[in-house]
């Protein structure tokens, strides 16, 4: 089982570089962008996001290691909206930046990372957790109990 072989570390401010670079790699892969894509603004804003969100507790991230080798990550951002029927407190969580090194996939690493993130959300009494699934991750999330949303829409201004 993955948890016996590997180490999960709750990320802190000392992990800013690794968190930022991992986010860039996830975005390149998820958006099918070439490695040469200029991500300098995204990199700068991602670092700033982590600095603020880790400090104020609105984001939790886990890093996964095989010895000293970084092999995976995952994060959850917290926010609040107006209360709803399914979320009377208005507290919500958004799972993001799930990553496992290709050489380590299919060993339960992403599942254990997801468990830790969900546990963190539950400890904050968050009852609504969402995420965007890539084709590769969809089966894991569906097995976990996530379902496709049918009523949500988005408007992206910069496209």
Walk across the sheet containing 59-66 and list its strands: 7-10, 59-66, 69-80, 91-100, 128-131
Contact 73, 62 (CB under 8 A): yes
Please give the distance of CA 150 from its chain centroid, rounded to a whole number. Answer: 22
In tens digits, the chain (159 residues) has pLDDT values of 555 789 999 999 999 999 999 999 889 988 889 999 999 999 999 999 999 999 999 999 999 999 999 999 999 999 999 998 888 999 999 999 999 999 999 999 999 999 999 999 999 999 899 999 888 889 999 999 999 888 887 788 876
- SS3 assignment, position 42: helix
> What confidence score (pLDDT) does residue 137 get?
87
Query: Is the CATH code 3.40.50.300 the one for domain 2-137?
Result: no
Q: What are the tokens at 34? A: 């070439």
The domains of the chain are located at: 2-137
Rounded-to-integer distance, Cα 58 and Cα 152, Å: 23
Length of the chain in residues, anyone?
159
């Amino acid at each position: 089982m993955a948890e016996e072989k590997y180490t999960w570390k709750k990320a802190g401010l000392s992990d800013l570089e690794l968190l930022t670079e991992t986010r860039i790699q996830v975005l390149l892969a998820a958006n099918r962008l070439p490695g040469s894509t200029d991500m300098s603004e995204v990199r700068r804003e991602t670092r700033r996001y982590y600095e603020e969100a880790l400090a104020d507790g609105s984001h939790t991230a886990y890093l996964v290691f095989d010895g000293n080798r970084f092999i995976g990550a995952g994060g959850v951002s917290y926010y609040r909206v107006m209360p709803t029927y399914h979320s009377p407190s208005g507290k919500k969580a958004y799972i993001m930046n799930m990553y496992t090194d290709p050489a380590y996939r299919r060993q339960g690493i992403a599942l254990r990372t997801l468990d830790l993130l969900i546990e963190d959300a539950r400890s904050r009494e968050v009852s609504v957790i969402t995420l965007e699934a890539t084709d590769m991750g969809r089966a894991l999330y569906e097995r976990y109990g996530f379902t496709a949303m049918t009523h949500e829409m988005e408007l992206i201004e910069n496209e």
